[in-house]
Structure 1
Amino acid sequence: MVVKNRSSHEEGRGDMASEPGSDAKALGVASVQRALNILTAFQVNDSGLTLAELSRRTGYYKSTLLRLLATLQDHRFVSKLPDGRYTLGSIVFYLGQVYDQSLNLRAVIEPVLKDLAKETDEDAMFEIRENDSRLVLLRSDGQQRVREHVMVGTLLPLDVGAPGHVLTRFANGPGRHTGEDLIIDSFGERDPEIAGVAAPVFGPGSRLIGSLCVTGTITRFHNKEHLRAIRAAVMRAARQLTSSLGGEARSIFP
């Protein structure tokens, strides 16, 4: 995520900490905000950023950056490479591990699945990639008598079905796709009588977490109004989960 450049006037206010009458508390908050903006200036494919590039991305003077980077280095949030470039430090990886281990996917996803199944009156599932297959991690049944009977824990082919296409197509993030471009439909690929609508769910750094899917009979999904309503519901649910799991929901699902 590239931080929007700030004006030189705004930047200049950040260098007034020593002036008489300055509000120490406000300046402290501003320093924290600047430090966070530096950290979020790093992007997924960055192998290291020069001071000039960090200045361009944040809009901060190099003198301001050097002071903040020194503090971030002291606390291992940033590391400096031998060639002078900067990377995120080891503490960021550690915090990511803490976040992953503390996050209870079931507690976050199950309520959304239940609401989605109730809204669409179809089965809702959340699937993740398991090597060359997809695993049904969680599901919530709709009220239809005729439906797909797939148990939690079932391994399904990765190369067929809407959830499988989502897990392969967006394995490296959404790319330039946003909103409805992320929704994938499938009709009779794995089972000739079953259709599905799926969307990706992303976490921090646009990392793909899994695929959210609604399935039902082809007969019901051929109803254009019903299909349109399902697609809209799936996108709303995917946006909600992406936001809850730390992803950039506003930009991915505008």
Structure 2
Amino acid sequence: MTNQHPYIEETEVEAGPKGIASVETAIRLVRIIEASSDPLTLKEIAEVIGFSASKTHHYLVSLVRCGLLDRDRAGFGYTLGSFSLQLGLTALGRSDTVNMVSDAVRALRDEIGHTTAFSVWTARGPVVRHSEPSITPLGVSLRLGTVLPMLKSPTAAIFIAWLPDNELQSALKALPRGTLSLRTLAEIRNQTRKERGAHAAGVRNPSIAAAAAPVFGRNSRLIGALSTLGLIGQFDDRPTSAVSLALQRHARALSERLASHA
């Protein structure tokens, strides 16, 4: 591997206002990892940026602590962290691409009639960023900014399934001790990945059922969860129901649009 990389320029620093070199170096490291479709090891990152392994490691430790980077599950490679994802989503919300998300939420609602939403991951757990109210009688409401529960929540199951464990820790630690065992987390992860989505009854209260599907962006990174919910008896949360199939279709279409737009 050579030291050449799209984000590494071997030219003199441009003239202009003084900045902080270490900050600019840290951002270069983040951009190297962002450009890779796979996790990069310490050795690979050091070779690309042209630093010693020791110097590179110091930067990586700080970037992981700040949430801009994360270690993969095997512990040998580095990927973007939860704060990088949040920054991306914030930027998404201030650009034209936010329309893709809101259009998908609205299109799903118009097709199935139930309340629909798009949620992102935060240190508190899943938070609703976009929502469209039900057009069916006695529909369930879901306000923007709502923090969704970690228990019996299809939306939470999406993040449990596709986020690294350490990105889940802050929300999991806030739960009463023993609420979610490692075995239960593994079961949720395996089932959700197998079905490419999650379904549950008794969400938020005993009369509500819900379903959720993952939305991915560039390099197949999880961006958020597209979901829908309604009253039990009116809402069919089975994986093979028309509601669930429509949810999956809209989630896939949104993922394709976000990936191609990035």
- The normalised TM-score by structure 1 is 0.56
Task: Say yes or no: does 1:44 pair with 2:39.
Answer: yes
Kept after mapping to 1: 8 A contact 2:200/2:210: yes
Aligned to 2:248: 235
Q: Which of 188, 201, 204 is matched with 1:190 structurally?
A: 204
The whole-number CA distance in structure 2 between the counterparts of 1:165 and 1:141 is: 22
Aligned to 1:162: 154
Matched residue type, 2:255: T
Secondary structure in structure 2 of the residue aligned to 1:185: strand
The whole-number CA distance in structure 2 between the counterparts of 1:80 and 1:239 is: 39
Following superposition, the deviation at residue 178 of structure 1 comes to 9.5
Alignment CA distance shift 1:47-1:241 (3 Å): farther
- Moved segments of 4+, more than 4 Å: 39-42, 80-83, 96-100, 102-105, 175-180, 222-225
Superposed CA offset, 1:85-116 (max 9, x none): xxxxxxxx9xx988973745531201111110
Aligned to 1:112: 104
Matched residue type, 2:222: L
Alignment CA distance shift 1:107-1:195 (3 Å): same
Matched residue type, 1:160: K
The whole-number CA distance in structure 1 between the counterparts of 2:43 and 2:259 is: 23
The whole-number CA distance in structure 1 between the counterparts of 2:128 and 2:36 is: 35
The whole-number CA distance in structure 2 between the counterparts of 1:144 and 1:105 is: 28
Identity %: 22
Matched residue type, 2:226: L
Following superposition, the deviation at residue 169 of structure 1 comes to 2.0
Alignment CA distance shift 1:176-1:48 (3 Å): farther
Superposed CA offset, 1:129-188 (max 9, x none): 221332111011231121212211222222331111112221139x99998621110111
The whole-number CA distance in structure 1 between the counterparts of 2:109 and 2:138 is: 14
Task: Say yes or no: does 1:150 pair with 2:142.
Answer: yes
Q: Which of 193, 205, 217 is matched with 2:219 structurally?
A: 205
Q: Which of 125, 140, 146 is matched with 2:117 structurally?
A: 125
Kept after mapping to 1: 8 A contact 2:209/2:237: no
Secondary structure in structure 2 of the residue aligned to 1:238: helix
Secondary structure in structure 2 of the residue aligned to 1:232: helix
Q: Which runs of 5+ in 1 are unaligned?
A: 1-38, 51-72, 84-92, 248-254
Of 177-186 and 190-199, more deviation after overlay is shown by 177-186
The whole-number CA distance in structure 2 between the counterparts of 1:232 and 1:203 is: 20
Secondary structure in structure 2 of the residue aligned to 1:145: coil
Task: Say yes or no: does 1:79 pair with 2:49.
Answer: yes
Of 238-247 and 216-225, more deviation after overlay is shown by 216-225
Following superposition, the deviation at residue 82 of structure 1 comes to 4.7
Alignment CA distance shift 1:206-1:187 (3 Å): same
Secondary structure in structure 2 of the residue aligned to 1:124: strand
The whole-number CA distance in structure 2 between the counterparts of 1:179 and 1:131 is: 22
Q: Which of 100, 116, 127 is matched with 1:135 structurally?
A: 127
Kept after mapping to 2: 8 A contact 1:127/1:163: yes
Q: Which runs of 5+ in 2 are unaligned?
A: 1-33, 54-79, 166-188
